[in-house]
Amino acid sequence: MAQINACLKRVFIVFNIFFAVVGAVILGLTLLSQVVISSHGGDQVAGRTAGLIILYIMGSVTMVIAILGAYGAHKENRVCLIVFLVCMVIGSLITLRTGIPAVIARSQIEGLLREKFSELVPLDKAPSDVRVMADELQKELHCCGLFSYKDWEGEIPDSCLCRDDTESECQQISYRMTLMSESIYSKPCFPIIVYFVLLVADIMLAVIFSLAVLAILGVTLSSIMIHQMRYPARAHAVLTVPAIFTTAPPKYQELQSAPLY
């Protein structure tokens, strides 16, 4: 005889299917973010690789735990459900412990990046690896300088030059103090870099708190199912009709059926 309420079992299996879908969505969004960032020259942005690896791990672990929970509910395997419950408790604690400080840190990202990049200007006097990175960013993102083209002082590189003078993102500047002018990209690179860094941060926060909510729900459902497996009689008590609601035959029927002497 089944030890778990059939309705609860179906709800739990559906929950784990949804949980597995969330894991697949995490993997899909992470892959999409990697493609978008790479296509815009985001390979040079520091911290991008570590954040994407964390998202890949979270998505994979989510799918594995969801499959374990669905199997445990379908087979009514107490060991699988207990392992699932332990994973959900640990997961909820980790996500909440990680998510709350991450929300606070997100508001400080732009200031920290601005402080770090300010140490690199002027770019024409920066180390060679910094200049190479800046050139690559400017070519891919169609920008010039970190905060302004003036970050290059009087030596503006070719990567700042517009390839098409009709582009709306170009501007004309006077080169040094001569009458010659150059068409360069009008946008600085720093706002674009911050945008991609915050994009990864926002995706990670959304994933973390979504997993926290699902983990708490998983703890609740798996705890109820384990309790029902431990006390199977209570799991089916709700399916039986109490005796106080049974209807007895009317008294007048009893009188009519009684023999007359």
Least confident of 46-50, 56-60, 77-81, 191-195: 46-50
Mean pLDDT to the nearest integer, 97-102: 87
Q: Is the domain of 105 the same as that of 95? A: no
Q: Is the domain of 144 the same as that of 205? A: yes
Q: Is the domain of 162 the same as that of 116? A: yes
Split at pLDDT 50, 70, 90, the class of 175 is: low
Q: Please check whether residue 260 lies inside any domain of the structure.
A: no
Q: Is the domain of 62 the same as that of 130? A: no
Average per-residue pLDDT for the chain: 78
Q: Please check whether residue 52 lies inside any domain of the structure.
A: yes
Confidence (pLDDT) at 161: 82
Residues 6 or more apart whose Cβ sits within 8 Å of residue 56? 27, 30
Confidence (pLDDT) at 243: 47
Q: Is the domain of 204 the same as that of 226? A: no
For the chain, give the percent of residues with pLDDT over 90.
Answer: 0
- Above 50 in pLDDT, residue 93? yes
Q: Is the domain of 215 the same as that of 88? A: yes
- Above 70 in pLDDT, residue 166? no
Q: Is the domain of 150 the same as that of 193? A: yes
Confidence (pLDDT) at 9: 84
> Whole-model pTM above 0.75?
no
Q: Please check whether residue 248 lies inside any domain of the structure.
A: no
Q: Please check whether residue 246 lies inside any domain of the structure.
A: no
Looking at the structure of the chain, the number of domains it has is 2
Please give the full DSSP string across the chain, using - where no structure is assigned. ---S-HHHHHHHHHHHHHHHHHHHHHHHHHHHHHHHHHHTTGGGSTTHHHHHHHHHHHHHHHHHHHHHHHHHHHHT-HHHHHHHHHHHHHHHHHHHHHHHHHHHHHTTHHHHHHHHHHTT-SGGGS-HHHHHHHHHHHHHHT--SSS-GGGGTT---GGGB-S-TT-TTEEEEE-TTSS-EEEEE-S-SHHHHHHHHHHHHHHHHHHHHHHHHHHHHHHHHHHHHHHHHHSHHHHHHTTSPPGGGPPPPPHHHHHHHSPP-
Least confident of 57-61, 114-118, 166-170: 166-170
- Above 60 in pLDDT, residue 190? yes
Q: Is the domain of 93 the same as that of 221? A: yes
Q: Please check whether residue 240 lies inside any domain of the structure.
A: no
Q: Please check whether residue 65 lies inside any domain of the structure.
A: yes
Q: How far apart are CA 173 and CA 181, in angstroms?
A: 5
Q: Is the domain of 140 the same as that of 14? A: no
- Residue span of the structural domain in which 159 resides: 100-209
Q: Is the domain of 215 the same as that of 95? A: yes
Q: Please check whether residue 253 lies inside any domain of the structure.
A: no
Mean pLDDT to the nearest integer, 91-97: 86
Confidence (pLDDT) at 28: 87
Residue range 207-219, pLDDT digits in tens: 788 878 888 888 8
Instruction: Output the domain CATH number for residue 200.
Output: 1.10.1450.10
Residue range 214-233, pLDDT digits in tens: 888 888 888 888 888 887 65
Q: Is the domain of 109 the same as that of 198? A: yes
Confidence (pLDDT) at 240: 45
- Above 70 in pLDDT, residue 130? yes
For the chain, give the percent of residues with pLDDT over 70.
Answer: 77
Q: Please check whether residue 235 lies inside any domain of the structure.
A: no
Q: Is the domain of 199 the same as that of 224? A: no
| Phi, psi torsion values for 259, nearest 5 degrees | -70, 145
